[in-house]
Amino acid sequence: MTSQARASRGPRFSGRRLAEDTATYVVLSVVLLIMMTPILWLILTSIRPLVEIASTRLILVPRRLVLDNYLAVFRDYEMAAYLQNTLLVCGGVIATNMVIGPPAAYAMSRYRFRGEKAVLFGLVFMRMIPLVAVILPLFIIFSTLRLLNSYAALIIAHTAFKLPVTIWLLRAFIADLPRELDDSARVDGASPLGVIVRIVIPLIKPGLAATAVLAFLATWNDLLVTLVLSNTIKTEMVALGLTKFVLEYGVAWGPLTAAGVLMFIPTVVFVFIAERYLVRGLTMGAVKE
Amino acid sequence: MAGPAENRIIGIESGRERVTLRSRLDAWQARYAPYWLLLPALGIIGAVLLYPLVHALYISFLDYKLARSARPFVGLGNYIEAFTSASFGTVLAQNIIFAVVCILVEFTVAMSAALLLNRQFRGRAIYRVFFLLPMLTAPVLAGFNWRWIFNDRFGLMNQIFIAVGLPPQAWLVEPNLARLSIVIATVWQGIPFVMILLLAGLQALPQPPFEAAIVDGATAWQRLRLLTLPLLRPVIAVALALRIIDLFRVFDVIYIMTLGGPGHATELLPFYIYRAAFSQSQFGLASALSWITVFITIVLLIPLFLNERSGAESEKLNT
């Protein structure tokens, strides 16, 4: 019926339809180009020779390709250490979230219990509070425990910051599973933990992947936690590393943009992987896709 | 001869006992299972988020300076100091104006883009994915991107200005231009966020009312104003509430681009709090400021919860 309706509408509207489509492409392309400009300019700057970086004249395409900046970030700056520290912390945060998150999410989606509402609201609240309000007392606590400048402090802090989103997102994925699946397993005498490990986790692998990606990106992108909790090269993460390209006599834009491109690569990769699940993750399930 | 029978009886009895023990264990498990499943998560959230937050509330009543061991109780002193200081009023007002300006720009651009992306056309998925990139760019990197573009000597913006014959501007030095630069860097990351939410909402809208409206000869503008926007209201409310809350959490972009300057011209609450704590070592005052910000967040969360509740009710009505 719809195809019929479309067919009958077709001849009258096709000319207009074409014009509308063209307009859509033009407008979206212009908006997209503006939105992409900072990223394109970052990439272009990172491969320019120094004379072009320090130019007041607009030069769109670099006259020659230069990779010195990429060598410099490893040779003259501590980019390798920043990347290594960040990957270690991210790995730790993903691991803890993947172990602690699913049981909590399962409890939230499959049980009715006293205090459920409070936990739900609490998780949303914890996702929304300004981090700076938590990071000041955390600084005091971790310095009393002598845990400043340790991977442990960074992993513990980030784990807690990411858990609310992890639980909410996994909860939505578990809610999508047919209840009979785990109910029948529970009737057969499996413990809740057994059901989670053997039945739920294999079925929500895409959800786990999306959750891991979001936890990774949030940790990878973070500045405030590493800024407050670490001040030695042993634990500084890549976002803080970028600020080290701001030198006393000015900003080393060539190496900085190269480091920026390196930092941006995982973002691009993961956006393409997890794009489908982003809405749920970013809104804590408030908007379904 | 009695042996097997005896064994059988014992077997049955012990089996029965096992059943009752088992069912008791099951009942116990069923009753407390959600709690111990949640325990590790709530434990770590409680220790790393909730406890520090409460601890900050306690500190906010003390004259707490990091270098000094005496931390006398000052009651509401820090709150009074916050509200009577000229700079806090400026920063608070500035953050509110900043949030309003950003949300207006973000909503307008995002709504337009979402309406266009909601049309059926070839290559839509590609546009969508690229639109998302700014949102997931590290805020630090976004800050540096725009700091470089707004660089007064070699920045792209001034290169374009010179190319078209306009005088170059001191983007991050002149207060209003610095504010504009901060807004641009922020909305650059906010537009995709609002857009993807609105687009998800648009795609979930029921089709019949729109088909009926087309049959009735409603114009595109009428359909948008009388159908799309009212039907989309819950999603718009969520998107705006989430985003406004985030606009009171902006830190990285300020830290990278202006450090709140010139003067306090681009200073927002999180950076102001950070500076009170780590530059001036005023942890008591900073904690009071933190709690004022937490309170603002709670107020902003109220529409979100009301929306959630009405959403849950309508869901129940549907089933």
pLDDT in tens, chain B (319 residues): 344 444 444 444 444 555 567 677 767 766 788 888 999 999 999 999 999 999 999 989 988 887 777 777 887 888 988 888 888 999 999 999 999 999 999 999 999 999 988 888 888 888 888 888 999 899 999 999 999 999 988 999 999 999 999 998 999 999 999 999 999 999 999 999 999 889 988 888 888 888 888 888 888 888 888 888 888 888 898 888 889 999 999 999 999 999 987 888 999 999 999 999 888 888 899 999 999 999 988 888 887 777 666 555 444 343 3
Chain B's closest residue to A288, CA to CA, is B200
Nearest CA in chain A to B240: A283
**pLDDT for the residue numbered B149:** 95
Residue in A100, A101, A264 closest to B137 by CB: A264
Per the CB < 8 Å rule, is A37 touching B149?
A: yes
* Phi/psi at B69 (5° precision): -85, -25
Contacts of A65 (CB under 8 A, 6+ apart): A47
Give the SS3 label for residue A19: helix
Question: Which residue from B minimizes the CA distance to A214?
Answer: B136
SS3 of residue B73 by DSSP = strand
Name every chain B residue with its beta carbon within 8 A of the beta carbon of A255. none
Give the pLDDT of residue A61.
85
**Chain A residues close to B52, C-beta within 8 Å:** 134, 136-138, 141
**Nearest C-alpha in A relative to B45:** A160
Which SS3 state, helix, strand or coil, does residue B170 take?
Answer: coil
pLDDT for res A9: 45
Provide the pLDDT for residue B41. 93
Contacts of B136 in chain A (CB under 8 A): 217, 221, 267, 270-271
Continuous H helices in chain A: 2-46, 50-53, 68-75, 79-110, 116-128, 131-144, 151-175, 179-187, 192-195, 201-203, 205-221, 224-229, 238-243, 253-274, 278-283
Give how far Cα B61 sits from Cα of A114, B54, B80, Å.
Answer: 33, 12, 11
The count of other CB atoms within 10 Å of the CB of residue A203 is 15
Separation of alpha carbons A141 and A139, rounded Å: 6
Q: Which residues of A touch B255 (CB under 8 A)?
A: 223, 227
Token pair belonging to A188: 């057969």
Over chain A (289 residues), what is each successive 10-residue block's mean pLDDT?
43 70 87 93 91 83 88 91 94 95 92 87 87 90 90 93 91 86 77 85 88 91 91 87 88 92 91 75 60
Angle between helices B124-136 and B86-117 (to 10 degrees): 170
CA distance A61 to A59: 6
What is the token pair recorded at B230? 């009212």
Which residues 6+ apart lie within 8 Å of A95 measured at CB? none
Query: Mutating which of A4, A16, A35, A196 best tests the B interface, going by the most B Cβ atoms within 10 A?
Result: A35
Which residues share a beta bridge with A246? A251
Which positions in chain A touch B200 (Cβ < 8 Å)? Answer: 279, 287-289
**Separation in Å, CA of A207 to nearest CA in chain B:** 18
Cβ-defined contact of B34 to A113 (cutoff 8 Å): yes
Best B60, B144, B219 member to test A by mutation, with max A CBs in 10 Å, is B144
DSSP 8-state symbol, B168:
P
Nearest by CB to residue A163, choosing from B41, B239, B255, is: B41
**Do A134 and B138 lie within an 8 Å CB cutoff?**
no
- ipTM score over 0.85, yes or no: yes
* Residue B263 CB contacts under 8 Å (≥ 6 apart), including other chains: B175
CB contact under 8 A, A126 and B45: yes
Nearest to A121 among B136, B255, B305 (CB): B305
Find which of B58, B59, B141 to mutate to test the A interface (most A CBs within 10 Å of its CB). B141
Contact B274 A160 (CB under 8 A): no
Q: How far apart are CA B119 and CA A23, in angstroms?
A: 12
* pLDDT tens digits along A89-110: 999 999 999 999 999 999 998 8
* Pairwise CB contact (< 8 Å): B44 & A137: no
Cis peptide bond N-terminal to B262, omega within 30: yes
Give B118-152 as a DSSP string: TS--TTHHHHHHHHHHHHHS-HHHHHHHHHHHT-T
Do the chains contact at A130 and B249, CB–CB below 8 Å?
Answer: yes
Tell me which chain A residues have a C-beta less than 8 angstroms from the C-beta of B191.
35
Option in A27, A130, A156 nearest B48 (CB): A156
Q: How far is A266 from chain B (nearest CA, A)?
A: 10
Indicate the length of chain B as a whole number: 319
Which residue from A53, A136, A196 is facing B283, i.e. has the nearest CB?
A136
A58–B193 CB contact, under 8 Å: no
DSSP A196: I
Token pair of B308, please? 């959630």
Q: Do B144 and A256 touch (CB under 8 A)?
A: yes
Tell me how far CA of residue A257 lies from CA of A262, B251, B291, in angstroms: 9, 21, 37
